[in-house]
Structure 1
Amino acid sequence: MAENRTRSQYKKTKNTGNQKKSTSSFFKKLIMALFILGIVGMVAGAVTFYAIVKDAPPIDESQLKDPVSSKVYDMNGNKVAELGIEKRTYVKYQDIPKLVENAFISVEDIRFYDHHGVDLRRLVGAVIANFQEGFGAEGASTITQQVVKNYFLSPEKTIDRKLQEQWLAIKLEQKFSKVQIFEMYVNKIYFSSTSFGQVHGVATAAEAYFGKTLHELELHEAALLAGMPQSPNRYNPFKNPEAAEERRNIVLTLMAKHGFITEQEATAAKEIPVESTLVKVQKDPRPYDSFIDQVIKEVSELGDVDVFSAGLQIYTTLDPEAQAYVENVLNTNDVVQFPNEEFQAGLVLTDTQTGEVRAIGGGRNRQAADFNFATDINRQPGSTIKPIIDYGPAIEYLQWSTYHQIVDEAHTYSNGTPLKNYDNKYKGQMSIREALADSRNIPALKTLQEVGLSKARDFAANLGIPVGDQIYESHSIGGFNGVSPLQLAGAFSSFGNKGVFIKPHTVTKVVFMDKTEVDMKPEPKVVMKESTAFMVTDMMRSVVRSGTGRSANISGLQVAGKTGTTNFDSDTKKKYNIKSGGVPDIWFAGYTPNYTLAVWTGYSKTSETNYILSSEEKAIAKQLFKEIVQHVSEGKEKSDFVKPNNVILVEVEKGSNPPKLPSEFTPKDQIVKEYFIKGTEPKEVSELYQKPEAPTDVSINYDVDLKQLTLTWLYPEELREGITFEVQYSVDEGPFNVLKTTKDLGLNMTNPIKGAIYTFRVTAYNDDFIENRSDVGEVRIEIPAETEIDLDLDIIPDDENDQDQPGNEDENEGNDPGSNEGDQGDQGQNPPSNGDGN
């Protein structure tokens, strides 16, 4: 049967075999191709890895054993400080208690004794996190890697640096034992600064923070120290006890998790307040301490870098002469008289155009590690916030002019809570320039309500003010916590810098030991229109010229600024028996085209005596501003703020709303000059001040028997309110002199000069605006020659309470055209007697 298969059956069987053979061949080729690609990939990866790690710096044992100090340079490139040359207690591994070692191992590298420099398990987890959240999202550095990156590499988080770090970590472990590497680590890590100085190494830290040796440390103290290296300044228990305690408790939890202590021991240690065992040591001042504090903070933002042992070259914005002057002003009474030793001040001086910090006054009589009142406070800014949250946004988003009218009147927050001005008064309609100059609260709130909270928040946030995600109407007058002088200086300088915000900074460049340079200058950011910046600036010039900041004005300089005062709440007033007028904070922030200075004054802690009360104390912030800015501006070019082309200065009739141009009859004292965005300026001319109607039918009659002249005129009854008539006379075509001013429509004159020719002129004017006068009504008469010479003058009607006689006007009215100026012209003209002894 088999031999009888058909040809078609045979062919089908043959084809099936060929198909199997073809499939097998394809998979063999695929596997070979993948193998070759794998080889190529491995070779390429190896070549790439080699190309990256070949540039890694060599492991220098001397750098591992001895920290390399960082040098700080001022704005001129001169070295002003060296960080790292400090007292240091070195401890051998065998002298490190297991309690301390376990604390560090738990939080920094639990598999330290198991890996060979790189922890692959942590690395895989970090790769996954970085893939999901972006490179740098999570680190996987071992203690060995931390030793490497702190002393040989720059801190940027790049793949190249990470590969070099891992390579050097493996090499380091090949060269040194685990105990040697751990010894290197704990002796060189940075533990922030205290009054003890800059703290390096765990043994030094034990002494600096607790006044103990390592063997004397208790569990909670060892855990606190182990938690600090991740962010030394943030977890400094002297400066930030709450953050330090939170971090300490994390370490205790990890120690229990990994079996180094029991849960009960962890719980008991967590109950101990951080501040309870901190040491009290003698303070030791350092030069430029306040400024250097900020330098360290900014360099620390680079990431994994120990500024005190990384051998950095740090180039700063410090003006040593300005810094020295600031410290002298704050620490002596040579320039400013301070009320007592507890009175404090914090200030920051910056370059208006660059944001570079020139000097920092961190406090009066400040010592190393003391609280920095210039950079670390979080106080309510009071009215200094009004240009930032109220009027700046109104000009930016609503195109308000500096003249924009607003009514200072009884008003409430949107929830119905009433708001008052500082003087508990209302001043009615005014311009926003006037409202800012006099620091009126109600116009400020009304402005914020018109702008809207969202836009105001965005505007302030772009100027570096920490307002969070949401603001409230109380922000309009500074009712929030809060700002520092550093932040306020940055915001105010944006107005003086044509609307460009440059974050205040002390560091311009950092050079690492491997010659890597990091540019630290912040990027400029346009945060408002140039027109907004100029118009707000001009409004703040009124603050120092005629408003609440007059004592901060500096002759010869273009100065803009704003005052700020905060108030105690009722509970605090009652608790400390605060006297009426006592306040916690007084601010002044201002700028010239060259310098910006923000000043805070107050007390560290409120007590029954520690608060600002007297007018002299309240003026210190403005006095500090004036003295310091005046000093640093000496010899500098005194430039002005430049008006942008889209802003125009327009004359406006005062009080007009909407604004109107003055007419030819508008009194000069009722004309103001204000800035408008081009295209929004007023076009309509005001009709408020019209030329008064002229007196009509002016006539004169002479009664020969009575020897009396009677002068009369007519004037529309409906127009007479507020109108006064001025009567001038001339004798024999001589000069005209004022004879009388009157509200009536005539007057009598007796005994005129015989044979003389009298000419009378009558003019009407408004009592409030005497310059605005009507046309003249004129009449002439010749007196018969036989008339008696004696002359008496009476006004019709004869009213004892009417206007005073010529020569008896009140001297306070000397500028009134109807005053006794007419007496001066009578000389040589034989004026008539008025019968009252003159």
Structure 2
Amino acid sequence: MADKTQSREERRKQQQHSKNKGKKKSKGLVKKTFLTLVVLGIVGMLAGVATFAFMVKDAPKLDEKLLKDPISSEVFDMDKETITEIGSVKRDYVDYEDIPKMVENAFIAVEDSRFYQHNGIDVIRLGGAVIANITDGFGSEGASTITQQVVKNSFLSHEKTISRKAQEAWLSFQLERKYTKQEIFEMYVNKIWMAAGGHGVATAAKVYYGKELDELTLAEAALLAGMPQSPANYNPFEYPEKAEKRRNIVLTLMNRHGFITKEELEEAKSVDVVSTLVKEEDRPTGDIPYDAFIGQVIKEIKKKYPDLNPFSDGLKIYTTLDRKAQDHVENLLAGNAGVQFPDNKFQAGITLLDTKTGEIRALGGGRNRKGDFGFNFATDSKRQPGSTIKPILDYGPAIEHLKWGTYHMLDDKPYKYSTGQPINNWDNKHMGPMTMRTALALSRNVPALQAMQAVGLEQSKTFANGIGIPLKEIHEAYSIGGLGGKHDKGVSSLEMAGAYSAFGNNGLYTEPYSVIEVELRDGTKLNLKPETKVAMQDYTAFMVTDMLKSVVQWGTGTRANVPGQHIAGKTGTTNYDKAVREKHNIPWGAVPDSWFVGYTPNYTAAVWTGYANPNKNYLIGTEQKISQDLFKNLIQQVSAGDTEDFTMPNSVEKVKIEKGTMPAKLASEFTPPDQVLNEYAVKGNIPTEVSEKFDKLEMPSELKAEFLEASNEISLSWQHEGGDGVQFEVYGALNDGNEQLLITTTEKSVSIPVEYVGFYSFKVVAIREEMKSDPATTTLEIADPTTEEDIGEGSEDGTETDTGSGETGSGESGSGDTGDNGSGDTGTGDDSTGDHGTTDDDGSTDDEDTDNN
């Protein structure tokens, strides 16, 4: 028993031995794991160092000249010929000791608050950026110090790659070792691009404020310090509100970092930006050719590659510019190409595109422009489009989604918005039922609203967005160009040209662009061409185009027509709100904006005209036609000798419609030619009903005329198998007198008293509703019994009859062909207004429309 049983002490020792054995194994495992991690860390570190070394091995060497002098970029036209160099012409260099401390503090507060503490790389700032880039994607947040910005702007491309960042960090570290902080800051403030202010803060101080750097106020210094982040957007000449918001951010940061007091902050924030700027008439004139076009080039590059700086990165920029077209546009705006302007304040914005590619061939940024890259009336100005919006928001969507034909009938009648507010036409009149083509050609407002309501507002908005009209909301007033919503203040000439070019390009939309390709200093090429997309069906594009051709041929845009050219286009004017008109004493008939947007198969042009301040100046009389004159002049220049027409796609078929039918009906074999409309329909969607309006009833037969001497009457009788509802119109004439309607009857015989002797002619026409027969005719001669022995030779009863019939035509005039006896038929016919509307005495069509917002 004792041999088999262990004592308590023995068991305790045995358990302790087992525990010690387990601890030794555990400690061994931890030690191995630690050593493994150390080895992996060393290997990783060596790999990281090797990778870093590999990435920076091709980094450029520090070049003092490049550090201090920005490198200009070369701009080429569509033929790859050099236009100009940009970036190196305007700069006043300032030494560090001449930079006021207030100016330095403003830049450091907003760009790199720890500039004097780091060695070129701000690890604290970098940590936050790394986290953001991991969570939101590489390149989502920057952590560049002032030192890194100097390196980037001097030596490297602006692509957000790990390799480029590694090179940037390496060169920044080297820069900090070779130069003092003060020298690096001097490089920075002299190299930065300041939009119209050129390169460097000293140049900007003179351009924007007319001051030396040491004369700037706190508010002015803060504004300049805020500009380098986005010079074009914070240019105070063009965007004072944006500039002021950015300035206030800089002031807040200066206060946060202890550079200014709370009182100084509030005082500087209260300064009005515009009041401190150089007056417009004192601003420097520009010296960059085609600056309206090149300004758009710069915008596109900055939009697609925000880190690229065309003014200092030494780029090769290949553009779409047609130099001849651009020269002509600038001559037009200068008044040197045949179009005259009422005064020097009159403005215009012009965009010329290649219809098929969307390439911008020329831009007219305005008249009497000062400085480089100033406000561009072709790209920056947002004005209400008036009736030029109708193809985009009304008729285009209706064809696209409802498959309306160009003959679709709409009723121009007294009408209201869904809110109950009346909508008016430009002439305060109504023309009744009309085709969609006529409604668009004559720019009627009521049918336009009806079209939008039929297709639905959201469909209209989506259609517009798809061709580059960036609507954020939609209201019924938009149907006639009243873009007065909270977010939608208007459209630019560039946007309208892009939208219309899609109609001219079989429904394919390409966002208008001016830059084809950019080549970086290291040879890297960046393709900036936007993708072309299908924006609508080809039948929509073609039918809108064909209707817009009517605008130019006989509608409101005849003044823009170029003989021999196939042009589609639309006029548009806007109107003043009643309160605005009364407040500023603006006369009735004056308008703030006049547009013409049109295209050929090869070119699209959008022309806006008006004044910068429409409450002080307005367009009146023939001034409202200058937009058409500019369009015509430009198209004549660029399309000389071009006879290409738009091609009908297979999705469309021709159809003959009878004028005035509502809903539209096919013309019958009896429809007179002048009542037939040659229109277009989406294939498979033509009307199924044939009009019977002009179908002919059977002609009365056996028409006889007999003189009854006893009662001194003429008895007329005839036969007809027309059935119920048929009436008969009986016409008569004596000798060479006018034909008159004698009676309308349901009977097949009538008696006519005889008062005079002579030669009588009669005509009987069968009618039922709008249908008429050919006339049956006969004649009868009654001689004077005192001079003639025989009355009515040729028949025993003294009558002579001729039942031959002559054809009549029915139409708007109601006139017909003569019968066999040579007498003419007056008939009755439609009085309906012709489908092309009314015209002035000189034969020109009434024009123009206004929105009614």
Q: Same fold (TM over 0.5)?
A: yes
Instruction: Provide the alpha-carbon RMSD of the alignment.
Output: 3.6
Q: Does the 8 Å CA contact 1:727/1:763 hold for their aligned counterparts? A: no
SS state of the match for residue 531, structure 2?
coil
For 1:632, the equivalent position in structure 2 comes to 638
Structure 1 residues 813 and 541, CA, compared in 2 at 3 Å: closer, same or farther?
Answer: closer
Find the aligned partners of 2:734 and 2:47 in 1 and give their Cα distance. 109
Find the aligned partners of 1:26 and 1:218 in 2 and give their Cα distance. 69
TM-score for the superposition, normalised by structure 2: 0.85
Q: What fraction of aligned residue pairs are identical, expressed as a percent?
A: 51
Structure 1 residues 215 and 9, CA, compared in 2 at 3 Å: closer, same or farther?
Answer: closer
Residues 1:324 and 2:298 aligned together: no
User: Cα offset for 1:147?
Assistant: 1.1
Q: Does the 8 Å CA contact 1:710/1:749 hold for their aligned counterparts? A: no
For 2:539, the equivalent position in structure 1 comes to 531
CA deviations on 1:651-692 (whole Å, 9 max, x unpaired) are 122333443322222222222222222222222322333212
For structure 1, which segment, 677-686 or 698-707, has the greater mean C-alpha deviation from structure 2 after superposition?
698-707
Letter in 1 for 2:542: F
For 2:624, the equivalent position in structure 1 comes to 618
Residues 1:346 and 2:349 aligned together: yes
CA deviations on 1:88-138 (whole Å, 9 max, x unpaired) are 211111111111111100000011111111111111111112222222221
The 5 Å alignment of 1:454-603 reads 454-468=458-472, 470-480=473-483, 481-603=489-611
Find the aligned partners of 1:823 and 1:778 in 2 and give their Cα distance. 11
For 2:850, the equivalent position in structure 1 comes to none
For 2:674, the equivalent position in structure 1 comes to 669
The 5 Å alignment of 1:785-824 reads 787=790, 816-817=816-817, 822=822
Runs of 5+ in structure 1 lacking a partner? 730-736, 797-811, 825-838
Structure 1 residues 574 and 333, CA, compared in 2 at 3 Å: closer, same or farther?
Answer: farther
CA deviations on 1:357-402 (whole Å, 9 max, x unpaired) are 1111111222324422111111111111111111111222222222
Find the aligned partners of 1:821 and 1:42 in 2 and give their Cα distance. 116
Q: Does the 8 Å CA contact 2:321/2:361 hold for their aligned counterparts? A: yes
Letter in 1 for 2:639: S
For 1:420, the equivalent position in structure 2 comes to 424
Runs of 5+ in structure 2 lacking a partner? 484-488, 744-748, 800-811, 825-853
For 1:289, the equivalent position in structure 2 comes to 291
For 2:253, the equivalent position in structure 1 comes to 254
Residues 1:271 and 2:270 aligned together: yes
SS state of the match for residue 577, structure 1?
coil
Q: Does the 8 Å CA contact 1:709/1:749 hold for their aligned counterparts? A: no
For 1:653, the equivalent position in structure 2 comes to 658
Find the aligned partners of 1:722 and 1:643 in 2 and give their Cα distance. 47
For 1:108, the equivalent position in structure 2 comes to 111
Find the aligned partners of 2:821 and 2:629 in 1 and give their Cα distance. 45
For structure 1, which segment, 501-510 or 646-655, has the greater mean C-alpha deviation from structure 2 after superposition?
646-655
SS state of the match for residue 697, structure 2?
coil
The 5 Å alignment of 1:745-756 reads none
Letter in 2 for 1:207: K
Find the aligned partners of 1:788 and 1:492 in 2 and give their Cα distance. 77
SS state of the match for residue 506, structure 2?
coil
User: Cα offset for 1:264?
Assistant: 0.3
User: Cα offset for 1:300?
Assistant: 2.1
The 5 Å alignment of 1:56-455 reads 56-193=59-196, 199-280=198-279, 281-286=282-287, 287-301=289-303, 302-332=305-335, 334-369=337-372, 370-455=374-459
CA deviations on 1:189-208 (whole Å, 9 max, x unpaired) are 11111xxxx61111111111
Q: Does the 8 Å CA contact 1:700/1:781 hold for their aligned counterparts? A: no
User: Cα offset for 1:54?
Assistant: 2.4
Letter in 1 for 2:298: I
SS state of the match for residue 676, structure 1?
strand
Structure 1 residues 172 and 666, CA, compared in 2 at 3 Å: closer, same or farther?
Answer: same
For structure 1, which segment, 303-312 or 350-359, has the greater mean C-alpha deviation from structure 2 after superposition?
303-312
User: Cα offset for 1:228?
Assistant: 0.7
TM-score for the superposition, normalised by structure 1: 0.86
The 5 Å alignment of 1:668-687 reads 668-687=673-692
Structure 1 residues 46 and 720, CA, compared in 2 at 3 Å: closer, same or farther?
Answer: same
Find the aligned partners of 1:448 and 1:119 in 2 and give their Cα distance. 57
SS state of the match for residue 215, structure 1?
helix
For 1:831, the equivalent position in structure 2 comes to none
SS state of the match for residue 247, structure 2?
helix
CA deviations on 1:218-248 (whole Å, 9 max, x unpaired) are 1111111101111111111111111111111
Q: Does the 8 Å CA contact 2:433/2:662 hold for their aligned counterparts? A: no
Letter in 2 for 1:329: L
For 1:733, the equivalent position in structure 2 comes to none
User: Cα offset for 1:283?
Assistant: 4.1
SS state of the match for residue 29, structure 1?
helix
Find the aligned partners of 1:225 and 1:613 in 2 and give their Cα distance. 42
Find the aligned partners of 1:396 and 1:254 in 2 and give their Cα distance. 53
Structure 1 residues 703 and 765, CA, compared in 2 at 3 Å: closer, same or farther?
Answer: closer
CA deviations on 1:377-429 (whole Å, 9 max, x unpaired) are 11111111111111111222222222222222222222221111111112222
CA deviations on 1:747-802 (whole Å, 9 max, x unpaired) are 8898889xxxx9x99563779999x74375779999999747999xxxx9xxxxxx
Residues 1:699 and 2:704 aligned together: yes
Greater relative CO (CA pairs within 8 A, separation 6+): 2
SS state of the match for residue 401, structure 1?
coil
Structure 1 residues 103 and 722, CA, compared in 2 at 3 Å: closer, same or farther?
Answer: farther
SS state of the match for residue 645, structure 1?
coil
Find the aligned partners of 1:236 and 1:821 in 2 and give their Cα distance. 87
Find the aligned partners of 1:384 and 1:434 in 2 and give their Cα distance. 15
User: Cα offset for 1:722?
Assistant: 9.1
State the number of aligned residues: 786
User: Cα offset for 1:33?
Assistant: 2.8
User: Cα offset for 1:495?
Assistant: 1.1
The 5 Å alignment of 1:706-725 reads 712-713=717-718
Structure 1 residues 722 and 378, CA, compared in 2 at 3 Å: closer, same or farther?
Answer: farther
SS state of the match for residue 673, structure 1?
strand
User: Cα offset for 1:152?
Assistant: 1.9
User: Cα offset for 1:717?
Assistant: 11
CA deviations on 1:460-490 (whole Å, 9 max, x unpaired) are 112211212x211111111112011011111
Q: Does the 8 Å CA contact 1:727/1:762 hold for their aligned counterparts? A: no
Structure 1 residues 253 and 741, CA, compared in 2 at 3 Å: closer, same or farther?
Answer: same
Find the aligned partners of 2:821 and 2:113 in 1 and give their Cα distance. 99
Find the aligned partners of 1:342 and 1:308 in 2 and give their Cα distance. 31
For 1:805, the equivalent position in structure 2 comes to none
User: Cα offset for 1:704?
Assistant: 8.8
Q: Does the 8 Å CA contact 2:705/2:714 hold for their aligned counterparts? A: yes
Letter in 2 for 1:576: H
Letter in 2 for 1:412: K
User: Cα offset for 1:293?
Assistant: 1.6
